[in-house]
Amino acid sequence: MSAADPDRAPGTARGGVHKAERHDSALKHTTGEAVYIDDMAEPAGLVHAALVLSPVAHGRLAAVDLTAVRALPGVVAAVTAADIPGRNDIAPIRDNERLLADGVVEYAGQPVAAIAATSLDVARAAAKKVALEIEPLLPVLTLDEALDRRSLLYPPSVVARGDVDAAMKGAPRRLSGSFRVGGQEHFYLEGQIALVAPGEDGDLIVHSSTQHPTEVQHIVSRVLGLEFNQVTVMVRRMGGAFGGKESNASWVAAAAALLAYQSGRPVKLRLPRADDMVATGKRHAFLYRYEVGFDDDGRVLALDATMAADGGHSVDLTPGVLGRALTHVDNVYWLPHVRCTGLACKTNTVSNTAFRGFGGPQGVVVMEDAVGRIAQALGKTPEAVRAVNFYGEGTNDETPYGQKVEDNQIRRCVAQVMRDAEWERRRAEVDAFNRASPVLKRGLGLFPLKFGVSFNIPSMNQAGALVHVYSDGSIRLNHGGTEMGQGLFVKVAQIVAEVFQVDLDRIRVTPTSTGEVPNTSPTAASTGSDLNGWAAFAAANTIRQRMAAFAAIHFDVPEEVIDFRDNRVCVARPGDNRAMAFGELAKLCHAGRVSLSSTGFYKTPKIHWDPATMTGRPFFYFSYGAAVAEVAIDTLTGETRVLRADLVQDCGRSLNPAVDLGQIEGAFAQGMGWLTCEELWWDKQGRLRTAGPSTYKIPGSRDVPPIFNVRLLDDAPAREATIFRSKAIGEPPLLLATAVWTALKDAISSVVDHTMPVHLDAPATPERVLMAVRRLQEIVAAG
């Protein structure tokens, strides 16, 4: 028992795994005591920064005149691309993506220059006085324009299996569809911010609100021409991120660092909400065109789909987003012959980037639209069509990209949610209501989910941790994951508490720092607990084994009978009740010159991926779920309400059920926003006009379903060797909101007794719902 066993039942110490512990900063969040970067004490000599943004979407940058601005009282530094000592390149995965525009501007809102001044007001006022000379060029502003002009960021990507053309030709039935989904603003509570302080010998300390401290380190070093060891990046917490602080945060920190380098003074750059929204990337909007062949039972025989993603003006993280979308088109369905083509379109808009789900949400909607159309064509229910297409167990169980579906929980999740939602009874009630109500209509929608968990790039699936046990038995934990409100810190602390069998309050988690744990992966792709949890386990377990070996000598017993439980270290054999407090053993170990510090490392096994053939095993495992949503629509105004939602989510053996429930509820609400009310709108000049809460609507408390039932799937430990058999929770539940979209289409279809297919783009705003209703009514009126 000297080593901890991740499959062993949790111990009795307060705060181990599988227990509903509160978020480590919960009280601070509610009282306002939680310290974010803008709350930190400002170092002596700090100056404030502001960005100069391009007012046009595309043009030749002929001149940037900073002469008058540099002469303004209080202005300390003013920089353009010409002042960058290193490379003007902030690309996270490829190259030639500019920090500051140089020679050409690519979107309205692109940073052109940056100002530092003794006060924030002076800096922002000075930024408005910068004279820009831009010769307009013809922009590409929409996906349709990009497709017409074949404006692509890189060549098409294809996931394919079988003979699609032959299978489609031989299918008894065929139909085609086309629709689109919009992008989404991250709308984190804490905006983009960085505080950079110069140190000795050209070193920099960077406080960044980032999901990826190592990328911030690399980008800052690249822009300034420094080595990585000269830049230390730290983050205690973020006020939300949702993917928007993965690559975006890096260039914000680099801009602040450039000004610190030029001025020799600490610099704080925080973007006002409007600048944040126009200058930073968002969820990719997609346009879909597909053809599906099927038989009289609704069984899909072939799918040929094209997915055009709006990447914006540069590559950013689009290859990963589009790749994940392509590997999620199948969702829970066996597709014997399939060809999915992904087009990364280049437009003169902000470079779109990571967002919770990272392409998965945009991938799964293809088959959901197809299922609805197939059901309507055959006079069947969508539920019946789904059921005949589910992945099998032992047969029809391989994805189009070659990965086996080995831990299939699809049917179980669907059966559970339909029981919880009382599907049969409520289906009859909704149908009866619709027959009696000419204006208000209700809809019931189901959505089943299979979501792959791991980074698309295998090399990113690694993590490190550092654990110290002090001689009083207190424990210090550091790891490469970042805390953005999702509860990662408390989960990893629970893992360490479980290893040592001590109370959770003995663990102190310190700010994430590239100076403590180097070469980290981003906290993204729902892998935070999987990766950092195992790394922390490894570090803690190394120390535990050293302590156990020392205890065995102290008690003069074999090492295997030393056990850790309930804050004590015991001799676990009959008739021997010797024990000591954990802190007492730590003190003895220190006196005995036993190292009580260790690093830990973890790399995800089994995964591999060939980007040329788009085949392999990109995911360590799949997470499953299912949702039922009930909605009401007003056919005269298009107004909608979500009346009830029932969710079942596969969390494996949850590390912390309380945190996981919160993640599920929040993700579902955010997914609702993407599919119903969060609309990004650019004018004909390419300027974002929904640049604040007055014009961009995120879900509010009144938008959350008044009946909202969430269940963690019972008795479903992960099949793969995940940390304590848990599963990822950050992203999968967002996709469950697709049930709201299917429910809206069900309600709209009831206007014509479900006799015609419904075309409904997302977000399904009142205008789009009303247009969909009117379209059906006009078809009926025309005979």
User: Alpha-carbon distance 289 to 271, whole Å?
Assistant: 38
Do β-strands 47-53 and 267-270 pair in parallel, antiparallel, or remain unpaired? Answer: parallel
CB atoms within 10 A of CB 471: 13
Q: Which amino acid is present at 281?
A: G
DSSP 3-state of 480: coil
Contact 43, 104 (CB under 8 A): no
User: Alpha-carbon distance 741 to 736, whole Å?
Assistant: 10
- What are the C-alpha distances in Å from 237 to residues 157, 266, 476, 511? 36, 20, 17, 8
Contact 495, 655 (CB under 8 A): yes
User: Alpha-carbon distance 218 to 247, whole Å?
Assistant: 11
DSSP 3-state of 513: strand
What stretch of H or E contains 289? strand 286-294
Q: Which amino acid is present at 657?
A: P
Cis peptide before 213 (omega within 30 of 0): no
Contact 314, 91 (CB under 8 A): yes
User: Alpha-carbon distance 277 to 283, whole Å?
Assistant: 12
Does the CA dihedral 434-699-237-219 come out positive or negative?
positive
DSSP string, 10-72: P-SSTT-TTS-PPPTTHHHHHHT----GGGSPPPTT-EEEEEEE-SSSSEEEEEEE-HHHHTS
User: Alpha-carbon distance 210 to 222, whole Å?
Assistant: 17
Contact 630, 644 (CB under 8 A): yes
Contact 765, 636 (CB under 8 A): no
Q: What is the residue whose two structure tokens read 């094209």?
A: 306
Is 731 tagged catalytic?
A: yes
Q: Which amino acid is present at 156?
A: P
Contact 493, 509 (CB under 8 A): yes
Contact 769, 640 (CB under 8 A): yes
Residue 284, C-beta contacts closer than 8 angstroms, at least 6 positions apart: 183, 309, 310, 311, 318, 321, 322, 352, 355, 359, 362
Q: Which residues of 683-717 are buried (b: 16+ CB within 10 A; e: fewer)?
A: eeebbbebbeeeebbbbeeebebeeeebbbbeebe
Considering 406, 731, 767, 778, which one is annotated as catalytic? 731
Residue 387, C-beta contacts closer than 8 angstroms, at least 6 positions apart: none
Q: What is the residue whose two structure tokens read 């280049």?
A: 346
DSSP 3-state of 103: coil
| Helices marked H in 264-395 | 273-279, 318-326, 360-378, 382-389
> How open is the CA angle 563-564-566, to the nearest 5 degrees?
130
Length of the chain: 783
| Helices marked H in 650-700 | 657-676
Q: What is the 3-state secondary structure (H, E, C) of 706-769?
A: CEEEEEECCCCCCCCCCHHHECCCCCHHHHCCHHHHHHHHHHHHHHHCCCCCCCCCECCCHHHH
User: Alpha-carbon distance 712 to 494, whole Å?
Assistant: 19
Question: Hey, what are 644's tokens?
Answer: 């009830």
Active site residues: 731
